[in-house]
Structure 1
Amino acid sequence: MTNTELLQIQPAELRFLFELKKQSSCQVHIVNMSDQYVAFKVKTTSPKKYCVRPNLGIIKPNETCDFTVIMQAQRIEPPDMQCKDKFLIQSTIVPFGTTEAEMTSDMFAKDSEKYIEEKKLRVVLISPSSSPVLLPVNGDAKQEPNKVHMEKERVPSGVENIPPPLRVSEEFKVLETAKNMEVEEDRRNEDVDARHSENENVNVPDTEPKKDVAQLNSDEDYEQLKSRLSIMDSKLRAAEVTILKLDEERRMNIHEKDLLKKELEVMRRKIDMRRVQAGGFPLLFVCMVALVSVVLGYYIHP
């Protein structure tokens, strides 16, 4: 059992931007603090709710690794935005040169004599930043300070009294004055429509949250692509190992086949020799019997 910390994990908790019917992702950074190969495995209390890419791997000494946790789109918002889901990251020391293809579940078994380091990460849900909302106060709309200041600067005719820029040409000033006169004339004839359009302008939501959401979506897409690339790399490495093993097995099979051919040839030769020996023995026996018969006949009948 070691007293040193194997892995340093950042962040200490998983923060997800929670929006109904939308996925959310969080990236975790792992640093190997030891001078040995360390294998890690990620577990969660809700495996159907989250997708971890990759969920296991091996980190070389003093190197880093990243994995992405993707929360699937949810249809129901949890009460008070509280989540009880947790993640467990197990790590242990493995022999030098161990690859991901050689990893097994027995490496993280607690009943073994190995030291298993465990770290827990809790899940925190964050609500998306909402746009400024006009709250009713005594029947009137409560406006932001900058909007109140702009309303004070409006002239009774309904045209905004916004000072022109300091550095403008004379032609621009003439065009601006003509444009203001046309606006004044139109608003005098359509006072009701002008008020309605003014209220619409006041209630236009801020577009900055939309930009933030778009930026978050692009970040999520980037993280998903990055996680897919890491998965493809691991699969390619596993495929290369498998190809090497198949080549080695093929060479062994060819060698065994050659040995069997040689043994078969030797057996055939032995069988042929036995057949030759078996075919010549009766002829010799017949010759000897004939010779003995001739000699006996000669002596018996001289």
Structure 2
Amino acid sequence: MEMSNELLDIHPRELKFIVELKKQSSCSVRLFNKSNHYVAFKVKTTSPKKYCVRPNTGVIEPKSACDFLVTMQAQKVALPDMTCKDKFLVQGTVVAEGTTEDDITSSLFAKENGKYVEESKLRVVLASPPHSPVLLPINGVHDQVPVFETSPSKDQVLQGDENVGTQLKVIENMMEQKSENIEPPVTVEARDLERVKGVEELELAKDVENLRFKISELELKLEEAQVTISKLTEERRLTARESESLRQELALLSTKKGVRRVQVGFPFLFVCMVSLVSVVLGYLVRCQ
């Protein structure tokens, strides 16, 4: 099956991670299915022990999107430089409607018999954590709070109230200028954390929905099992009743057969008496 257009639109195509010691860093990637078919995807990496991809497989409906989260494990030692040769590979192929994530296997992305499998490579970019804005230089010179080496004596304060007021105003003006120059920090890490939190909440909602669906399926199967057990119990009861009825009929037939044998046959004593009478009669007749 040949495709003239791309199946998946990937954004971003560079995975940017903020490298900090003993801290994980995450990056979210969105896959958009531009085709009119169901598309299955799989994410691979050259360093599977270094990264965690959730989910690494899935099925995207036509004209729909799906996000996956890539988490880089915490670094135990400082990196000598920020160059990284790690790569990610996103594979996509058209599947039939109704295909689920459980149906996705490695053989599904095998390029056999002219099957079209789209592959897109993503590179990894490492970045240093942003510095605190208080330590950033302003116009090339670090801004510091002025330090007064000597403080006015008690007599000078009492004699120069106007000078003290003027100094306080100067200090307040300097603090206001400093507060205007320093903007509240909005770091990339905070935005990434918010985005990761949103993705994790979405994944949690999906997991809860899947769990509810599986529970409902188990309940249906349990009801079917209960119905089957009740049917088997009823059949067993009927079979036992039929067996008891057959046993009674067999006993009744045996009794009737014994009665018939008694009615048809002659007792042994009766035969002996008849024989004796016959012998006596024969002897008397011969004597006459």
Fold conserved between structures, TM > 0.5:
yes
- Superposition map of 1:132-281 within 5 A: 133-134=136-137, 144=139, 181-182=163-164, 208-209=184-185, 213-281=189-257
CA distance in 2, matches of 1:271, 1:179: 125
Residue 108 (structure 2) aligns with: 108
| Superposed CA RMSD | 4.2
Task: Tell me how far 1:51 sits from its aligned partner.
Answer: 2.6
Paired-residue identity, %: 34
Residue 149 (structure 2) aligns with: none
Task: Tell me how far 1:284 sits from its aligned partner.
Answer: 1.7
Deviations 1:69-115 (CA, angstroms, capped at 9, x unpaired): 22232223433212232333333444323344x43536636387765
Per mean C-alpha deviation after superposition, the further-off stretch among 90-99 and 7-16 is 90-99
- Residues 90 and 213 of structure 1: is their aligned pair in 2 closer, same or farther, counting only changes over 3 Å? closer
CA distance in 2, matches of 1:279, 1:24: 91
Question: Are 2:40 and 2:94, in contact at CA under 8 Å, matched by a contact in 1?
Answer: yes
Question: Are 2:46 and 2:87, in contact at CA under 8 Å, matched by a contact in 1?
Answer: yes
Task: Tell me how far 1:16 sits from its aligned partner.
Answer: 1.7
CA distance in 1, matches of 2:29, 2:42: 13
CA distance in 2, matches of 1:91, 1:98: 14
Residue 79 (structure 2) aligns with: 78
Task: Tell me how far 1:116 sits from its aligned partner.
Answer: 4.4
CA distance in 1, matches of 2:225, 2:88: 41
Question: Are 1:91 and 1:108, in contact at CA under 8 Å, matched by a contact in 2?
Answer: no
Amino acid at match of 2:103: M
- Residues 186 and 95 of structure 1: is their aligned pair in 2 closer, same or farther, counting only changes over 3 Å? closer
Q: Helix, strand or coil: the match of 1:19?
A: coil
CA distance in 1, matches of 2:276, 2:117: 105
Deviations 1:117-138 (CA, angstroms, capped at 9, x unpaired): 443322221223445655xxxx
Task: Tell me how far 1:301 sits from its aligned partner.
Answer: 5.2
Question: How many pairs were matched up?
Answer: 251
Residue 123 (structure 2) aligns with: 122
Return 5+ residue gaps in structure 2 as ranges.
Answer: 144-159, 279-288
Question: Are 1:14 and 1:121, in contact at CA under 8 Å, matched by a contact in 2?
Answer: yes
Question: Are 2:27 and 2:192, in contact at CA under 8 Å, matched by a contact in 1?
Answer: no
CA distance in 2, matches of 1:185, 1:10: 56
- Residues 82 and 253 of structure 1: is their aligned pair in 2 closer, same or farther, counting only changes over 3 Å? farther
Scaled by the length of structure 2, the TM-score of the pair is 0.66
Task: Tell me how far 1:144 sits from its aligned partner.
Answer: 0.6
Question: Are 1:54 and 1:230, in contact at CA under 8 Å, matched by a contact in 2?
Answer: no
Q: Helix, strand or coil: the match of 1:81?
A: coil
CA distance in 2, matches of 1:295, 1:115: 104
Return 5+ residue gaps in structure 1 as ranges.
Answer: 135-142, 151-177, 188-193
Which of the pair has more CA radius of gyration? 2
CA distance in 2, matches of 1:184, 1:263: 110
